Structure 1
Amino acid sequence: MNRIPSVNLQDFLSEDANRKQKFIDEIGKAYEEIGFVALKGHFLDDQLVDNLYSEVKNFFDLPVETKRSYEIEGIGGQRGYISFGKESAKGKKEGDLKEFWHFGQYVEDDPERAKEYPENVTVNELAQFNKIGKETYQMLEKTAKYVLRALALYLNLEETYFDNYIHNGNSILRPIHYPPILEEPENAVRAAAHGDINLITLLMGAQGRGLQVQNNAGEWIDAMAEPDELMINVGDMLSRHTNNKLKSTIHRVVNPPRELWGTSRYSIPFFMHPISEMKLDVLESCIDEDNPKQFDNITAGEFLNERLIELGLKK
């Protein structure tokens, strides 16, 4: 496969059983073969997207010392600002050429769950930054819920199987700034080859070249979305839960050609995480003689903690 398949969420949301099944079959097949789709018909409108990019650029344009005042020690980078070069891919010592921000869950109906998560960090200099971040977070979470409903049906589970696991889940919205490259990078790229930790990732900002996906033949292919599409991929938690039936595909963000080194790149992934106590044990329906169980039992919280340590975000 040398291109990312495109699907439309409105097919799944329609009253037409054939259109709904078509979406389920298309997204399931794509996730078995390459682990990525480009999704139209999501819940983000153009104005919200424009407002978000404007606020994100305003934040990253703030002085470095101002941004660093929002870097919170002791929470593994789960909220607020994470400075340039601090995160590295699993098994790689060089830091990625990026800085980013984390918005987390907005728990409103569960005081015990709210205590589990760090509080979101308010940027005092930008009146709209947090409001627009929250609105985007909630629209992406809503989109992700319906994608997971389709995948539940594809896996012969009850349609709302994932709903209680993702309600108040530990999801993260991450606006990323890849600054202009000022000198020859020493063995570093904007984001080194990696798989995502979570259930699924919804990515805004894959319209420009840079994001690449490794197909089953080991070839790197460009993952380009249309302006109205989100790029959505399977993460390691979902791959593990399905015994690797749905593929968590290795991907990277490569450095641009030298003539474009002077430009910034922005992308905004939403990492859909479940609540920490969700069991990621391999689904019985994904085990058979040809596909024996590949993974040990583990909870989502335990798995996340292991990976944050591997990424250098937690000690």
Structure 2
Amino acid sequence: MDVQVVDYTVADAPEKFVESLRETGFAVLTNHPIQQQLVESIYSNWLDFFNTEAKHDVAFDPEKQDGYFSPDVSETAKGHTKKDIKEYYHIYPWGRVPAELEEEIRGYYQKASGLAGELLSWIEANSPEEVKAKFSEPLPNMIKDTPNTLLRVLHYPPFTGEEEAGAIRAGAHEDINLITILPAANEPGLQVQLKDGNWADVPCNFGNLIINIGDMLQEASGGYFPSTSHRVINPTGGAQENSRMSLPLFLHPRSEVQLSERHTQHSYLMERLKELGVI
């Protein structure tokens, strides 16, 4: 089964959406509530920010993990040795945001977080009873008033020809959180690994909304919902001259939420951040 494109407004959208998540770890929504005009404005305004030296004035805090991450301190995907070719900015409810960008990005954070609550209710409602029984509390409740949900504004810069051999924009990885909400980027490149091991392009028409399962929901569901590997491949031809902007919202439960017998949100997050080498 390939990743399914689901019309958010149709009556059986929840069932189709959850079926795609169950089979591939990914689903794509059309006709969803996130306004494309808002996403385009965010991409434009933050690209301007990444093209200034002011970004270094809000360099990331190693303890709090908010602020600007330069390419030099960017992530190395688990199991990889080369850093991803990207820079990004971390936004938390309590974190720093440049004043001229704050109102718009905070508004998006709230809107996308609200939609995430609805989608988590779809997931729970369409889970087997034995899976629902594993959840320590209703899935939408896990993210209520959480300080941990992370909005990452990502910039994959144009290629210069000086990139490290073998490095790609985002190495194959799985997300740590419950679910991720991602407006389609302004450039293609996102791929998911299917059950047969092959890589497939995620439908990324500008305006699509991409949702994928993270490790925490895989953990909480006893493996019923798969956290699947995905990556962002390098552009070719003239596309190498283009910046790629991306806006994943990583939905995290409150720190004390029990995911399974072995992990709370906090213990799981710390384990994974150490593996990534960012703490």
C-alpha distance after superposition, 1:79-122 (max 9, x if no partner): 111111421101222111000011112xxxxxxxxxxxxx3213
Is 2:83 aligned against 1:104? Answer: no
Question: What is the CA distance between 1:8 and its match in structure 2?
Answer: 2.8
What does residue 10 of structure 1 align with?
9
Matches within 5 A, 1:191-230: 191-206=170-185, 208-230=187-209
- Structure 2: 5+ residue stretches without partners: none
- The alpha-carbon deviation at position 49 of structure 1 amounts to 1.7
**Percent identity of the aligned residues?**
35
Partner Cα separation in structure 1 for residue 33 and residue 277 of structure 2: 33
Count the aligned residue pairs: 271
Amino acid in the other structure paired with 1:161 = P
User: Which of 251, 260, 265 is the aligned partner of 2:244?
Assistant: 265
Is 2:141 the partner of 1:164? yes
1:306 aligns with 2:263: no
Aligned residue in 2 for 1:179: 157
Q: How far 1:9 moved relative to its partner? A: 2.8
Conservation of the 8 A alpha-carbon contact between 1:79 and 1:103:
yes
Residue 258 (structure 1) shift: 4.2
**What is the alpha-carbon distance in structure 2 between the residues aligned to residue 300 and residue 238 of structure 1?**
10
Q: How far apart are the structure 2 equivalents of 1:209 and 1:53?
A: 15
1:193-227 alpha-carbon deviations (Å, 9 max, x no partner): 00000000111234632101000000000112232
Question: 2:188, 2:204 within 8 Å by CA — same for their partners in 1?
Answer: no
Other-structure match for 1:122: 97
Alignment of 1:50-65 (within 5 A): 50-63=40-53
Distance 2:271 2:121 in 1: 27
User: CA-atom RMSD, angstroms?
Assistant: 1.9
Which of residues 3, 15, 31 in structure 2 aligns to 1:25? 15
CA positional deviation for 1:297 = 1.8
Match of 1:131 among 85, 103, 115: 103
Structure 1, residues 151-202: CA drift from partner, whole Å, max 9, x if none? 11112449x8123210122111111000111125312100000000000011
Structure 1 residues 226, 260: closer, same or farther in 2, change over 3 A? closer
State the distance in 2 between where 1:41 and 1:167 align.
25
What is the CA distance between 1:247 and its match in structure 2?
1.1
Could you say if the C-alpha distance between residues 121 and 174 of structure 1 is closer, same or farther in structure 2, counting changes exceeding 3 Å? Answer: same
2:125 to 143, 146, 153: 153
The residue aligned with 1:290 is none
Contact 2:191 2:200 in 1 (8 A): yes
Confirm or deny: 8 A CA contact 1:240 1:280 kept in the other structure. Answer: yes
Q: Could you list the runs of 5+ residues in structure 1 that have no partner in the other structure?
A: 12-18, 106-118, 282-295
Counterpart residue type for residue 260 of structure 1 = A
* Structure 2: distance between partners of 1:275 and 1:10: 30
User: Contact between 2:76 and 2:83, CA under 8 Å: does it hold in 1?
Assistant: yes
Equivalent residue number for residue 75 of structure 1: 63
More off after superposition, 196-205 vs 43-52: 43-52
